[in-house]
């Protein structure tokens, strides 16, 4: 079985098991895009968290964040196929239109290779003068690192669907792949600079990573934002 088939199976089984005791939306479509990335298309009969979540009772929002935390933990527990680096779910190039300069990146053998590409190959000699934070960024990028983690890559409030107090689906999987462990958190936190509510909510379903967030801020400052 190919890695993409494994991911398809695991995510579909997860979705079915998770919702087997609920009134599942009447129309649920799974579709694979041309390069075999996961796309979880529209779940009918649901609402999007954005725009209404911040107006709900605090307890209601807490329930939704707990549900989202369980879902993201389950997704992150999917074990990467052996030998895979930073790549999409099928081991090919990752796709993210928010990355600078280009939409397709890699695949990369290691997280360090991916980081080096993000900073355009820049390295610093020991005594070389550098802009503030740049040396710290390169040290952070060079690791050491654990294996890449299965990552949705676009966990915005627009992509999380809910019915009542339950999350019923996550949509827009075209950016999903095997990414550095911090990538889900920093991507979700930066997904919409105008959505202050969501930045506060991210810490409710993903482990806060303040140092990694600081490093990503430096990376965006010098090498391009989304």
Residue 211 near residue 186, CB atoms below 8 Å: no
Quote the number of domains for the chain.
1
Q: pLDDT tens for the chain, 226 residues: list them.
A: 455 554 554 454 444 444 444 333 333 333 333 333 333 333 334 455 554 555 555 666 677 888 899 999 989 998 888 889 999 988 999 998 888 888 899 999 999 999 999 999 999 988 888 889 999 999 999 999 999 999 999 998 888 888 877 888 888 888 999 999 999 999 999 988 777 778 888 999 999 999 999 999 999 999 986 5
Task: Report d(CA 201, CA 16) in Å as an integer.
Answer: 26
- Nearest of 149, 222, 217 to residue 189 by alpha carbon: 217
CA dist 209 to 44, 84, 111, Å? 34, 24, 18
Helix (H, G, I), strand (E, B) or coil at 81: coil
Other C-beta atoms within 10 Å of 20: how many? 8
Residues 156-167: b if buried by 16+ CB within 10 A, e if exposed: bbbbbbbbeeeb
Which tokens go with 62? 């807490």
Other C-beta atoms within 10 Å of 66: how many? 14
Q: First-to-last CA distance in the chain?
A: 34
What's the confidence (pLDDT) of residue 34? 31
Sheet holding 160-163, edge to edge: 47-48, 160-163, 166-170
Domain containing 9 equals 3-223
Residue 94 near residue 107, CB atoms below 8 Å: yes
Task: Report d(CA 190, CA 179) in Å as an integer.
Answer: 16
Q: Which residue reads 């790549």 in tokens? A: 87
Provide the CATH number for the domain around residue 167. 3.90.1200
Indicate the burial class of 104 (C-beta count within 10 angstroms; 0-12, 13-18, 19 or more).
middle
* CA 167 to mean position of chain CA atoms: 17
Beta strand 104-105 with 94-95: parallel, antiparallel or unpaired? antiparallel
Other C-beta atoms within 10 Å of 64: how many? 21
- Nearest of 9, 29, 7 to residue 149 by alpha carbon: 7
What's the confidence (pLDDT) of residue 59? 62
């Amino acid at each position: 079985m190919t890695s993409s088939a494994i991911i398809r199976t695991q995510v579909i089984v997860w979705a079915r098991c998770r919702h087997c005791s609920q009134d599942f939306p009447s129309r649920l479509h799974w579709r694979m895009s041309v390069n075999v990335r996961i796309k979880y298309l529209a779940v009918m009969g649901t609402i999007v968290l954005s725009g209404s979540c911040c107006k709900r009772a605090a307890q209601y929002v807490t329930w939704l964040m707990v549900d989202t935390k369980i879902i993201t933990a389950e997704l992150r527990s999917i074990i990467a196929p052996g030998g895979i680096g930073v790549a999409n779910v099928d081991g090919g190039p990752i796709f993210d239109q928010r990355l600078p300069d280009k939409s397709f990146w890699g695949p990369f053998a290691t997280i360090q290779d991916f980081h080096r590409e993000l900073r355009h190959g820049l390295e610093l000699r020991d005594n070389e003068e550098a802009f503030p934070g740049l040396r710290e960024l390169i040290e952070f990028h060079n690791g050491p690192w654990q294996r890449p983690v299965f990552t949705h890559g676009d966990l915005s409030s627009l992509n999380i669907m809910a019915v009542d107090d339950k999350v019923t689906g996550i949509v827009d999987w075209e950016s999903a792949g095997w990414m550095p462990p911090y990538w889900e958190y920093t991507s979700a936190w930066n997904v919409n600079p105008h959505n202050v509510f969501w930045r506060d909510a991210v810490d409710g379903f993903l482990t806060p990573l303040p140092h990694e967030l600081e490093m990503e801020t430096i990376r965006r400052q010098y090498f391009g934002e989304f």
